[in-house]
Structure 1
Amino acid sequence: MIKSHQQPVIHLGSPGEEISRQDLQTIKKRFKQLNQLRAQRIQEFLQPRQRIFLELLPLLFHGNFTMLPGFISSTTPAGISEYKPDIQTINAARQFARNFNYSWAPAHIYSIEGLFLMGSVGSVAFSKTSDMDIWLCHQSDLAASAINELQQKASAIEIWAESLGLEVHFFLMDSRQFRLGQNTPISTESSGQSQHYLLLEEFYRTAIYIAGKSPAWWLVPAHEEGNYTRYIEHLTSNRFIPEHELIDFGGFEAVPAEEFISATLWHLYKALHSPHKSLLKLLLMECYASEYPVTEWLCRDIKKAVFQGNFLITDLDPYFLIYQKVEKYLQKTHSHDRLALARQNFYLKVMGSSDNALDASIRASREQYIQHIAKCWSWPITMIDGLKHTRSWDIQKATAEHVIIVQQLTQCYRMIMGFAREHVKPNQENSDDLKLLGRKLHSVLEKKPGKIEIITTHSEVHSKENALSIVENSPIGTNSGWALYLKYVQTATAKDFEPIQKCRTLIETLCWLVINGLYHKHLLINFSSHSLNMSDPELRSILRQINLFLTQNFIFDAPLDVYQSQKTPLHSMILINMGISDNERLCVMSERSDPLSYGVTRQCFIQTISRVSLSSWSEITTSHENGLDGLFKCLSDIINTNQKPLSLSNVKFVCHTPNRARDIVFRVEVLFSILVKLFSTPQHNLSPRYILPGGTSFYVFQSVNKTLNYKALASEKLLLNELARPQEQFSTLHFDRAVLENTPIPLIYSLNRPQVIQLFYYEYNADISVYIVDEKGALYTQLHSKASANHLLKQYAIFLESIISRALFENFLSLEYYAIEKSPDGIFSSNPVQLNTSSSNQELNLRITGEDTDKGISYTIYCNEKEFSSLDHGNQIFYAAYQHILQFRNANSHYPIHITDIDLPLSAFRIDNPEQLQTIHYLNYKQKIEDKFNV
């Protein structure tokens, strides 16, 4: 604490009252004196080689000196108002240029209006790990190219500072734009425009004047804060002080309630990853909000002390002022637990969270400072001793602290939401920043099954565990799941110990262990389970791979801009058969080697699926599924939800199944690659289907309404029914190599094209198999025994051409005909053929027509020239036509009847939209009637 005498009180009157020009200059000098003391505190803290940075800082921006750090060009904007380097600065410059001589011609216009340090630098919270935020204030009328060159210079000086072991960030500021609420700098301490006034308050409370114009705010007495703009205009227009001597960032005349909300959410956001760094500021926001609309700003306390003349004998350290205000607020509200947490956070800010944060001499002086604070504020006697152990936390202490912190964060969140309901109009639009902060906060604090909770204090754990136990709950218990213990625990004895973490699945347990810092390569793990047989090498391998996966892909603190988009998964890790021991049935040798449908019995080797998923919002989620359905569900979800473009690099497959792991992983990777190729990007006017075997069933993947789905078909017959199903749009078919491998169907679909009807026929002995793929990819099949190929194909051709000729379809359809052959080694091939449908000896032209009536469809059947109508024959119309046809045949002759044309309303096909109509409807109806005729 600084000792000095009390200086005289200065009172500046309101407009119309007496205002002394001398008093105004005295106020400026007092503020600069306070700033010099803070700057001196920084230099005392810095290492000797680092002190040159602050010594040279204003000179570097005052001119463009080729031999000094940061030189870009001789035309880079330079010159600081009211600055002249002293001999100490010139000597510092001569460390870079021995013959450096300073010469400067006075200018009427200076490009740089001011340099200010802000934040924790210069406060009792400054440590070796602290960075320096510097506001570099330039003229409002600088050209964009000049500002760009000034930014280059600032970046070069940042690099020089880094060589000295300092982390420095420059923020180029236009005071006029800032005053108007534009271009508020976004930093680690501020979310930008959503915190304009609260950032301004922090600036006035923490800023250290380096060089340039004096902030106009210094000259506005505390009782005139609400009249800030008018007061400054009064001072300058009446020439109490020259306007060119001032830089005006604005005041606190009308702070919107929304700022308290956004600032609280921002500090909540920061507290999620660095709680001990942010909780004091978060509580300060709560204090400020509780005082609204008459907020008692801390920066005003500093101003009052300067005007009262006791600023040199009062502790005006920015962090102490925060603590002091928070302490009074929490004592007033009797929040004893929160007060203890606030004291702990203040202690950590002063003493640092690790032993190497402070040098020995500085640590000793700060320990005295803390003792003084503890005495003044009546801290419990044992409190400091307890706080000293903070730097040796283990995971158990960190987890317990995490629970307390989350409770406080939740309480702050509820408070500010209550404040919003009271002070913000319903349905009022919030800023984009506010929406992003809300999304971030919700994504971290929301708890749901399978989501990994990241301990906010995990970085504070400095004592690593050497051994722990992972135990599955006893099967007789009502709650299934897993528990993590810091002792050697078995299933039988688990009820006697309290776990450090409980999870629903093993994969969730392992991810929690890794992401919260418990994993290291020398960790000893006791694994106890009644359902899994996990070997120690497998467990260690899985932990290594989870750790590598998270290290490579997970971002602990995603930037706010990612929350502008909806949450999407980015990366997944899929562990197959985790903890499944060797099994005899997995060792059977077979030529049919597909792990999804192996051997004669079509056995599937996929038993369990455990998934870890990383989202764009920095969320880690886990899930556990069983069997092939679990695998397909997982792969479909990745295709449907993952960020595009998608590739195999987004997914890591892991398997440790003895003797089969490599084959299983390779098969699943190939399957996933095919699904990505077919379904991860929309295909214009195409709706592909992919069919593969799985166990004894078949699985069909198809995208419906832009969502990939799959269905299981238990037999080959059901698969053929699926292929015959009408499609909303043209559907290409892709077959796994083991699907319908003994039929020509895969070959047929390899030739399939939209808007083309293709007829394939295959003669085998006396039978003919006909396959027709229509314009949308639906398959019609029919076996004809003891048929004449020429006659049969001509009948089909006449029927298909009759349908097309009426132009019922929206687009022109074409017909193609192919003959299929089979080689001695079982390979199918096809050859196009030409059919002549014209014939003068056509035996029968059988045409079925109809129209809708109130009583249903009224049919008319034409047998050559003979007409049969429902009006005459009622429900017996088809029988009457059949009897007529028999008259043309010899008594002993029996050959099939073929329908040559169908012209029926949509209701006959059980559809109601012409766009649904396709050739498969006609073919199915044709077969249905012919089956009745040919019984």
Structure 2
Amino acid sequence: MIRPHQERPIYLGSPGEEISIQDLQTIKHRFKSLNQLRQQRVQDFLQPRQQAFLDLLPLLFHCNFPMLPGFISSSTPAGIPEYHPGVQAINAAKQLAKNFSYTRVASHVYPIEGIFLMGSVGSIAFSKTSDMDIWLCHQSNLSSDAIEELQKKATAIENWAASLALEVHFFLMDSRQFVLGQNTPISSESSGQTQHYLLLEEFYRTAIYIAGKSPAWWVVPPHEEGNYTRYIKHLIDNLFIPEHELIDFGGFDAVPAEEFTSATLWHLYKALHSPHKSLLKLLLMECYASEYPQTEWLCQDIKKAVYQGGYMMVDLDPYLLIYQKVEKYLQNAHSHGRLALARQCFYLKVMGASDNTMDSQTRGVREKYMQSIAKIWNWPISAIDNLKYQRLWNIKKATAEHAVIVQQLTHCYRMIMGFAKDHVAQNQENTDDLKLIGRKLHSFLEKRPGKIEIITTRSEVHSKENILSIVENHLPGGDGWGVYLGNVLMANATDFEPIQKCRFLIEILCWLVVNRLYYKQLQLQFSSHSLKMPNEELHSTLAQINLFLTQNFNYDPPLETYRILKAQLNSLVIINMGMSDDDGLCVMSERSDALSYGMSRQCFVQSVDRISLSSWGEITTSQGEGIEGLFNCFTDIINNTKKPLSSSCLKFVCHTPARAKEIILRVEAVFDVLIKLFTKPHHNRSPRYILPGGTSFYVFQMSNKTLSYKELATKKMLLSELASPREWFSAVHFDQVVLENTPIQLIYSLNRPQVIQLFYYENKGDTGVYIVDEKGSLYTQQHSKTNSNHLLKQYSIFLESLLRRNLFETFLAIEYYEVKKNSTGVFSYSPVQLRAASSCQQLSLRITGEDTHNGIIYSVYCNEKEFSSLDYGNQVFYAAYQYILQFRNGKINYPIHITDIDLPLSAFRIDRPEKLQVIHYLNYKQKIEDKFNI
């Protein structure tokens, strides 16, 4: 074995100084030797059958052979300059295609300019779970059809690699476009154009040269790094090196500050779900940003070692270089806590989070490697031993670690925002991704009541707890809940520290499921003074939450999701959780409504616990009590859930003995009605839905695109609501048990805008009159011992006189109906035709008025005889009444009916004509008639 040795330093002169062509070739050779060493490390890590992939990789793109992987057609672009397959490649090809033979074809056209592996594949951090990113560089002048063919071939080779248990990703590269920032490959580790230069630095630091042209960056000496473009031009123009030997990806002449912002935010984004994998890169970005604008790139350390000749004697592992730079930076900053976290991240990256990522031999080698690193960098003696137990973490350790990581992420976020404020112009383009990532970070890191914290380290919990206790606590700010390790009761809970505290039980249960602590075999101890929750109900509830999240929740939504404003997607509602005591719920009654049951109108919904999922990957919980808790839940879902809304967005769970199914069916039916009425287009802009809840009634209505409800405590208040004037027509939809012994539901089933409908119902000599006006307002009046024909004629005269004077903006129609009730109590209706009023009617009673600065001056016309306030003052109505009595035989006292009203708007307490409706006249008519008929 040849021992590595120090080679002579090479100095390539600046323009105008001496440059040795031989030294240029030596530099290329040194870089290729370093790359061969890295490639061999990769091969040593791979299984024998996987090693054929790297052996064959350049050959597959150098020629098109039908029996080899990736063959598309004989015309697929193929051919790599400076490539000659070795014995291993040819033998590997013959293993797959027995009749394969390689014949060198002289050609001056090579569509494939180079093949490079990049990323962690060439570092000590490479593992079985690592993927391989491959830059497949092609000529700039390839046609779109040729590029499409090449992409098909690359995809086919990816599939072949997958059959070898390798995850491979090809990125087709046009180096000229890349230099211009037009063809930046987007991988799982970068966000594309916003990280052009940082991706380029990672490429130069981690790339493994497989075949093709040499990167031009190799032949630019370290002292000319800031003069990259001019130096390459100098070499080519002066024939120091042929242009066709180089592939140029560019240099670091002028790296924009916004790249550091972009890369930091991107790694923050990745750290939310893989913190240890991303934290070292986050710290590297912080190092780079702290050095800006004189950034000392890690790839330059490799280049310096190659030019100085010691590249084979020092460890230039790409991942180790990151750690070393971060270690120095944190030591200089005296950030001991962050340094310990950086060491942990490096250890986990090298050793893996579990034993199944590498074989025992590899693990042994890497353990020795970590011991050497710990010695070189003077780690605490116990550091390695402590890190070995990472795979034995329990939830207590994971939550503590999560707190540290969130603190670090927040620190990095504030740092890079400060950097951006100082160095990045506010009008920079390509900030779209940054805005989306910023939304993602804020959404994930923001803490607020009811929001479930997703532990970033939950996947690191390899030691599952067997017993957990859920305990209700008395807290200074009110009662709350805690989760404890082992068996803990309310009586001794103060002696232990909970691993999680929440305001409500639903938060605790959701937190357990979200952070993967719940499993079927978990033993749970439940201790509470306010709730009774049998073990069966507790596990069933947790299982329902787990199923709900599994089916509906995306822990890592794509960035594009954050382009649209946040909206709720799905909700799980648990009714009466922990209220398994069925006292008072077993009474039987013909009135079987679960929301207003029996003669006492009992509501079976006692508590409402809800879990909601948002489009931004948030999980929130809320808790409510009784019927209003349920209705608050409904309105919030309809107002804030992404449209179109359907009943599938809401799932109900209830464990109330004997009543669960009944309760769920009832609340589902109500929610279905709300969706039908308030989430779909209707000709009627403002329908109302009325249903009972306990002893009250509740009215749902949309206003300014927001659904709300109000409580009406009595039937009288409900009728008053129906009678109130409306701004526009409002159809009314009744739940089946509202006003069920009246014809009002039947009446409203016929209600239409711009139509006045009069219904009369005769019952034992009394006549009930129901009028629904053109906007849906209800007028009711009971008349005792009256002639119904005469009564209807009086109403008809009054209504038609209003319409004749054209008081309203649009033409209104009048319809008349008779209502009857059969022996079973069912109401029906039939239209009636009223005969025109006689011209020689006995009495015409018309009330008019006009506004003055002293108020309204009334005039009452009785058969054209005028009684005015100017003459009678406040007694004007009494004077008219005395006059009317003269026309009655024996001065019999029977009802007086007003035939017309013509008053100013102020009499009805309104200020605009468009507010005027028939209900105003009917109410005023009744008010005056009550004065006459006392």
With the shorter chain as reference, the TM-score category is: over 0.9
**Match in the other structure for 2:749:** 750
> Would you say 1:390 and 2:390 are equivalent positions?
yes
Q: How does 1:56-67 map onto structure 2 within 5 Å?
A: 56-67=56-67
Cα distance in 2 for residues equivalent to 1:469 and 1:244? 71
Q: How does 1:827-842 map to 2 (within 5 A)?
A: 827-842=826-841
- Cα displacement (A) at 1:777: 1.8
Aligned residue number for residue 637 of structure 1: 636
Which residue is equivalent to 1:214?
214
- After superposition, give the CA deviation of every residue in 1:722-754 in whole Å (9 maximum; x if it has no partner): 112223332222111111111111111111222
- Say whether 1:52 aligns with 2:52: yes
* Cα distance change on mapping 1:428 and 1:59 into 2, 3 Å: closer
Q: What are the residue-to-residue correspondences of 1:466-485 with 2, within 5 Å?
A: 466-474=466-474, 479-485=478-484
Structure 1 residues 305 and 911 mapped into 2: Cα distance closer, same or farther (>3 Å)?
farther
Further displaced range: 447-456 or 276-285: 447-456
Partner of 2:354: 354
Q: Which residue of structure 2 aligns with residue 404 of structure 1? A: 404
Q: Which residue of 1 aligns with 2:771?
A: 772
Go from structure 1 to structure 2 and tell me whether the alpha carbon gap of 1:190 and 1:840 turns closer, same or farther (over 3 Å shift): same
Which residue is 2:651 aligned to?
Answer: 652
Aligned pair in 2 of structure 1 residues 203, 852: CA closer, same or farther (>3 Å)?
farther
User: Equivalents in 2 of 1:731, 1:892: separation in Å?
Assistant: 44
Q: What secondary structure is seen at the aligned counterpart in 2 of 1:584?
A: coil
Q: Deviations over 1:881-901 (max 9, x none)?
A: 444444443442333333333
Instruction: Please state how far the C-alpha of 1:868 moved relative to its aligned partner.
Output: 4.7
| Cα distance in 2, alignment partners of residues 812 and 223 from structure 1 | 90
- CA distance in 2 between partners of 1:97 and 1:222 (Å): 46
Which letter does structure 2 place at the counterpart of 1:569?
Answer: Q
In structure 2, the residue matched to 1:303 is 303
CA contact (8 A) 1:844 1:864 kept: yes
Q: For residue 420 of structure 1, what is the amino acid of its counterpart?
A: A
Structure 2 unaligned spans of 5+: none
Aligned residue identity for 1:36: Q
1:502-522 deviation line (CA, Å, top 9, x unaligned): 111111111111221221111
2:791 aligned residue: 792
The whole-number CA distance in structure 1 between the counterparts of 2:544 and 2:124 is: 43
Q: Residue in 1 aligned with 2:38? A: 38
- Matched residue, 1:717: 716
Distance 1:934 1:265, change over 3 A: same
Pairwise CA distance, 1:879: 4.1
Is this contact kept in 2: 1:2–1:314, CA < 8 A? no
- Equivalent residue, structure 1, for 2:606: 607
Pair 1:224 & 2:224 matched: yes
> Which residue pairs with 1:669 in the alignment?
668
In the alignment, the residues of structure 1 paired with residue 850 and residue 235 of structure 2 have an alpha-carbon distance, to the nearest angstrom, of: 94
Which residue is 2:28 aligned to? 28
Amino acid at match of 2:38: R
Match of 1:256 in 2: 256
Kindly tell me: are residues 359 and 748 of structure 1, through their superposed partners in 2, closer, same or farther at Cα, counting changes over 3 Å? same
| Pairing 1:366–2:337 present | no
CA contact (8 A) 1:850 1:904 kept: yes
Secondary structure at the aligned position of 1:464 is classed as coil
Q: In the alignment, does 2:185 pair up with 1:185? A: yes
Query: Per-residue CA shift, 1:833-889, capped at 9, x if unaligned?
Result: 222334222233334444444444444444443445555555554444444444443
> Cα deviations across residues 99-119 of structure 1 (Å, max 9, x unaligned)?
112346455544433322211
Q: Which residue of 2 aligns with 1:455?
A: 455
Q: Which amino acid aligns with 2:347?
A: Y
Contact 2:468/2:487 (8 A) holds in 1: yes
Q: Which moved more, 1:355-364 or 1:85-94?
A: 85-94
Asked if residue 525 in structure 1 is aligned to residue 513 in structure 2, the reply is no
Letter of the 2:94 counterpart: R
Give the letter for the 1:305 counterpart. Answer: A
Residue in structure 2 matched with residue 897 of structure 1 by the alignment: 896
Q: What is the identity, as a one-letter code, of the residue corresponding to 2:507?
A: E
Label 1:883 to 1:411 Cα distance change in 2 as closer, same or farther (>3 A). same
8 Å CA contact retained: 2:582, 2:656: no
Aligned to 1:418: 418
Q: Which amino acid letter does the alignment assign opposite residue 259 of structure 1?
A: E
- Report the equivalent of 2:488: 489
Alpha-carbon separation, structure 1, partners of 2:809 and 2:213: 77
**8 Å CA contact 1:399, 1:455 repeated in 2:** yes
> Per-residue deviation at 1:50?
0.8
Structure 1's unaligned 5+ residue stretches are: none
SS state of the match for residue 844, structure 1?
Answer: coil
Please identify, of 115-124 and 812-821, the stretch whose mean Cα deviation from structure 2 is larger.
Answer: 812-821
894-903 or 123-132: bigger deviation:
894-903
> 2:537 aligns to what?
538
Q: Is the 8 A contact 1:128 1:357 kept in 2?
A: yes
Whole-Å separation in 1 of the counterparts to 2:680 and 2:2:
68
Name the CA distance, whole Å, in 2 between partners of 1:689 and 1:738.
Answer: 16
Alpha-carbon distance between aligned partners in 2 of 1:404 and 1:743, rounded to the nearest angstrom: 66
* Partner SS, residue 169 of structure 1: strand
**What is the CA–CA distance in structure 2 between the aligned matches of 1:870 and 1:177, rounded to whole Å?**
93
Q: Is the 8 A contact 1:474 1:492 kept in 2?
A: no
After superposition, give the CA deviation of every residue in 1:255-278 in whole Å (9 maximum; x if it has no partner).
222221221121112111111111
TM (normalized to structure 2)? 0.96
User: Does the aligned pair in 1 maintain the 2:885–2:891 contact within 8 Å?
Assistant: no
TM-score using structure 1 length: 0.96
Percentage of identical aligned residues: 73
Pair 1:87-2:87 in alignment: yes
Deviation at 1:442, TM superposition (A): 1.1
For 2:172, the equivalent position in structure 1 comes to 172
Q: 1:878 to 1:19 in 2, by over 3 A?
A: farther
Q: Distance in 1 between matches of 2:72 and 2:106?
A: 22
Q: Which amino acid aligns with 2:818?
A: A
Distance in 1, Cα, partners of 2:885 & 2:296:
106
Q: Secondary structure at the match of 1:440?
A: helix
Q: For the Cα contact (< 8 Å) 1:911–1:917, is it kept in 2?
A: yes
Following the alignment from structure 1 to structure 2, what is the Cα–Cα distance between the partners of residues 651 and 342?
Answer: 44
C-alpha distance in structure 1 between counterparts of 2:29 and 2:883, whole Å? 120
Residues 453 and 54 of structure 1: CA distance in aligned 2, closer, same or farther (over 3 Å): same
Distance 1:891 1:584, change over 3 A: same
Q: Contact conserved, 2:484 with 2:498, CA < 8 A, in 1?
A: yes
Residue 175 of structure 1: how far off its partner (Å):
2.8
Secondary structure class of the residue paired with 2:100: coil
Q: What per-residue deviation string (whole Å, max 9, x for no partner) do you get for residues 526-563 of structure 1?
A: 11111111111111111111111122222222211111
* 8 Å CA contact 2:760, 2:770 repeated in 1: yes
Equivalent-residue separation in structure 2 for 1:2 and 1:864 (angstroms): 130
CA change 1:158–1:802 in 2 (3 A) is: farther
> Cα distance, 1:80 vs. partner?
3.4
CA separation of 1:14/1:630 partners in 2, compared to 1, >3 Å: closer, same or farther?
same
User: 1:120 and 2:125 equivalent?
Assistant: no
Distance (Å, rounded) in 1 between the aligned partners of 2:891 and 2:799: 30
Shift of 1:408: 1.4
Cα 1:835–1:430, aligned 2, differ >3 Å: closer, same or farther? farther
375-384 or 226-235, which deviates more: 226-235
* Number of aligned positions between the proteins: 934
Name whichever of 260-269 and 831-840 sits farther off. 831-840
Q: Distance in 1 between matches of 2:42 and 2:432?
A: 37
SS, match of residue 58 in structure 1: helix
Residues 118 and 135, structure 2, Cα contact 8 Å, conserved in 1: yes
The residue aligned with 2:289 is 289
* SS at 2:569 equivalent: strand
Contact 1:467 1:487 in 2 (8 A): yes
Given the superposition, is the C-alpha separation of residues 330 and 885 from structure 1 closer, same or farther in structure 2, using an over 3 Å criterion?
same
Bigger Cα displacement from structure 2, 790-799 vs 436-445 = 790-799
Change (3 A) 1:851 1:368: same
Q: Is the 8 A contact 1:3 1:313 kept in 2?
A: no
Residue in 1 that maps onto 2:910: 911
Distance in 1 (alpha carbons) for counterparts of 2:920 and 2:884: 25
Cα distance in structure 2, aligned partners of 1:411 and 1:463:
30
AA partner of residue 653 (structure 2): V
Q: Secondary structure at the match of 1:670?
A: helix
Q: Residues 856 and 378 of structure 1: is their aligned pair in 2 closer, same or farther, counting only changes over 3 Å?
A: same
RMSD: 2.3
The residue type paired with residue 578 of structure 1 is M
Task: Tell me how far apart the structure 1 counterparts of residues 92 and 910 of structure 2 sit (CA, whole Å).
Answer: 90
The whole-number CA distance in structure 1 between the counterparts of 2:749 and 2:145 is: 60
Kept after mapping to 1: 8 A contact 2:532/2:581:
no
Q: Which residue of 1 aligns with 2:330?
A: 330
Distance 1:870 1:294, change over 3 A: farther
